[in-house]
Amino acid sequence: MASATGTAGALPGSGSVVDRLGTVRQASLALCAPLTPEDMMVQSLAEASPAKWHLAHTSWFFETFVLREFLPGYQPFNPDFLWLFNSYYNSVSDQPQKKLRASFSRPSLGEILDYRAHVDAALGQLFRGAAPAEATRRLTLGLHHEQQHGELLLTDIKHALWSNPLRPAYRHGGLPGNDAAMTRQLGSQTWVGFAEGLREIGHHGDGFAFDNEAPRHRIWLGSFELASRPVSSAEYLQFMEDGGYTRADLWLAEGWDAVRREGWRAPLYWHREAGAEEWTVFTLRGEQLLSNLLAAPVCHLSYFEADAFARWAGMQLPAEGEWEVAAEGCAPDVQDLLEGGSLHPLPSPAPAGTCMARQLFGGVWEWTASAYLGYPGYAAVPGALGEYNGKFMSSQMVLRGGSVATPATHIRPSYRNFFPPHTRWQFSGVRLARR
């Protein structure tokens, strides 16, 4: 996810600092409510983490960067947790290999919950008084960091449950709507035009932002058009039926290697039994018929798949600057975000706010054609917190817009997500552009 090094600004939600802290921390526990302790141990791919680890690491962040530095006399819950739940802050300590996190049967889930309570009590003690401004800045940062991990928790547990031969559902109950209603909402693809000119992108204002969203700077954009909505599952199925996964001419070389090496023939979580006509799609609400989701945005695509689809369609992916210019003034619709509760992208009937395009926020993260690099003048913040961002500005591509697993208080036009181009387990999709 995007960097955990940020600027001061608004905390998620409203109310006092301690109230907002409680809201975000409780939200993480609520995400785990449908899970068994055994579920919370599973790490089904090396890039993911067990739910139990997410609960511990987010507490580690507050303990390491807030309490150890700003609460006089603070006693760590367990000295070994400093390295055990460190993700990749080499300036803080060594850490276990990420792929081994599922082997942490100890500490127990109960001990990790006690650890969270210990950290929360200490944070309450610190922020009931006159905490230093830097402590408040880091608390703000930690809350946004925890929201990031909440989204990762959902994507990680989805892959874990899909990897189980029983394919259990995270949440029971069908997806809202039906195919007929969604088809009526979908409509034909239209295009929103933007004139060429000198534009500004990057965070501005007093609200929170991660450091990779700054500095705000000017860019020149040629005229372009952006699709009015994300690519649907029906449209992606046409790409598949036209031999999209068998045509080397559509793929970047590294993407074609991945297709052959991994045996990709459809988006992640799509499945069709040998000889069957119907595809199914695994969702956090269990297996669904693709025929009931044809109007929904296609998701769980790698950058390579998004790029190949764009080539097949005779279009391109938008540059991240184009995407951000298009998103200025757009209001998120909470139905497309975590608060909507669908846990799978659904088509949006109309643009939100003054936006001319649908679902720029929420639904699926949208791959852009832009490599993840620092903006002109970017410099990582000093110290260990600077490790979270700048050192990952290599071999990754930018995604924009948020997904059904993103909290509404966590997304904005300047937000830059990033993953390696082969990544598929995130809620990632595609919106086309043409120039």
The Cα–Cα gap between 379 and 356 comes to: 34
DSSP state of 425: S
pLDDT of residue 7: 45
The torsion defined by the Cα of 56, 158, 3 and 194, in degrees rounded to 10, comes to: -160
What is the tens place of the pLDDT at every residue in 22-36?
999 999 999 999 999
Contacts with 366 (C-beta within 8 Å, 6 or more apart), sequence order: 230, 318, 323, 360, 399, 400, 401, 428, 429, 430, 431
**pLDDT value at residue 6:** 47
Q: Which residues contact 217 (CB under 8 A, 6 or more apart)?
A: 200, 201, 202, 375, 376, 377
The pLDDT of residue 73: 97
- Span 233-263, pLDDT tens digits: 999 999 999 999 999 999 999 999 999 999 9
Alpha-carbon gap, residue 57 to 397, rounded angstroms:
25
**Ordered domains of the chain (ranges, CATH):** 17-163 (1.20.120), 179-434 (3.90.1580.10)
Using CA atoms, how far apart are residues 367 and 207, in angstroms rounded to an integer?
25
Contacts of 22 (CB under 8 A, 6+ apart): 120
Q: Are strands 286-289 and 280-283 parallel, antiparallel or unpaired?
A: antiparallel
- Percent of the chain whose predicted confidence (pLDDT) is above 70: 93
pLDDT of residue 8: 42
pLDDT of res. 9: 43
What's the pLDDT at 331? 86
In angstroms, the CA 425 to CA 185 distance is: 27
Strands 433-434 and 428-429 turn out to be unpaired
Q: Which stretches of the chain drop beneath a pLDDT of 70?
A: 1-15, 177-187, 351-353
Neighbours of 284 (CB within 10 A): 20
| Closest to 16 (Cα-Cα) out of 123, 168, 172 | 123
- Rounded to 10°, the helix 17-32/133-163 angle is 10
